[in-house]
Amino acid sequence: MTKPRFKGKYRVESIRLPHRDYGANGAYFVTICTQNRRHFFGSVIKGQVKLSAIGQVAQGFWAEIPQHCDPVHVDAYVIMPNHVHGIVVIDRP
């Protein structure tokens, strides 16, 4: 029997494959949540996300990922009030 990971801090156990090289070429779906699911990145107004100043910074950082990580490009991303979803693609020759 295995011990629980993360000491019960997080919602799910790791779903990472034990022998997978996550630095290898491929498309990766990434989710980043704010602490305690607080709405740091913005709010929803009339069905649309209105980014806060911090949300605008997060959006800028996502857009700049390819400038800092040469073999990586961002396929798509969305900034939500309390989390970010993105698809990053590693494409080394």
* pLDDT class of 70 with cuts at 50, 70, 90: confident
When pLDDT is averaged across residues 45-71 and rounded to a whole number, the result is 95
Q: What are the pLDDT digits (tens) for 11-42?
A: 666 778 889 898 899 999 999 999 999 999 99
Confidence of residue 78 (pLDDT cuts 50, 70, 90): very high
Note the pLDDT of residue 2: 59
Q: Is 63 within 8 Å of 74 (Cβ atoms)?
A: yes
Residue 43 has pLDDT above 70, yes or no: yes
What domains can be seen in the chain, in order of their start residue? 24-90 (3.30.70.1290)
Question: Which residues, in sequence order, are CB contacts of 92 under 8 Å at separation 6+?
Answer: 25, 71
What are the tokens at 93?
Answer: 């020759």
Q: Is the pLDDT of residue 54 over 70?
A: yes
Its pTM stands at: 0.76
